[in-house]
Structures are given as structure tokens and as C-alpha cells.
Amino acid sequence: MKKFLEMLTEEMQQAFTAAGYDGNLGKVMLSNRPDLCEYQCNGAMAGAKLYKKAPIMIANDVAEKLADSKVFSEVVAVAPGFLNLKVSEAFLLTYLQGMEANEKFGLEKPGTSQEDHYRLRRPQRGKTSACGTFTFRSDR
């Protein structure tokens, strides 16, 4: 199951692409200002340098593409070029129902490779730790 922020980012990337901009600019993150919105996207600020346009113009173009989005209930372009996002309750409900139906509630089992296992089990000579430096005798 995809993570919630990944799903929001995919929707935003599609909107950036549909507006004619690079999709990688559409990274969604938790809002720095929770009083204004739940999530935000600052991609228009980075896109301003690439496309030599005002960031608010890029943000407005992307916001227009998300006007009928099923994921976001509200998308507001705010000067100088931030996108403030609120998630729709219907999308959130669908996501939570998917988590409930999943055996592990959407969590993935962490995988460890043999290399990780070896690295975690065997301290290396000369590596520092919280209690100082490990030293090993070679005759053992």
C-alpha cells in the first residue's frame, strides 16, 4: 500500500505535468503553517528559476489543474508561490478503509539484507561508539 504523502505527491506531480511543468516539482509535505492548511507544495518556487516565470503564476496554473481533483478539497495559490492544500474527506475515508482492509494496516515489513545483518551484528575495528573505541585482539 502506498504511503499517504506519496499519493498526494503523485496527484500534485500529475497537475504540474498537465500544466506544462516538470512533474518532479510537485513534492507535497506537511504544512509549516497548520493554521492555514494541512499540506503544502513549494514546487512553484523552484520552478520559477527553471522556467523564468513568477512563482505565483506557476502556482496558479497548477491550482487550475487541481480544481476538480478528487484528492484535494481545496487548493489555494498564495504569494509568493506556495500551494496550500486541504485533503478531501472522501479521499481520506477511502484511504483509511484501504488501511483497515490491509493485513498490516498499510505498514510494510522492514527488510534487511545479509550485508545489513552482518554490519549490525559485528562491530568493526576502530569504529567509535557511545562508550569509546572498539578494540579487538587479533589472537582470539
- According to the model, what pLDDT value does residue 118 have? 58
The single-letter code of the amino acid at 93 is L
Q: Is residue 31, in this structure, part of any structural domain at all?
A: yes
Check if the beta carbon of residue 31 is closer than 8 Å to that of residue 86. Answer: no
Q: Is residue 80, in this structure, part of any structural domain at all?
A: yes
What is the Cα–Cα distance from 18 to 114, expressed in whole angstroms? 43
**pLDDT for 23-51, tens place per residue?**
999 999 999 999 999 999 999 999 999 99
pTM: 0.73
- According to the model, what pLDDT value does residue 108 have? 73
What is the Cα–Cα distance from 26 to 140, expressed in whole angstroms? 56
Q: Is residue 96, in this structure, part of any structural domain at all?
A: no
Q: Is residue 79, in this structure, part of any structural domain at all?
A: yes
Q: Which CATH number do you get for residue 9?
A: 3.30.1360.70
Domain of 11, in residue numbers: 4-91
Domain count, the chain: 1
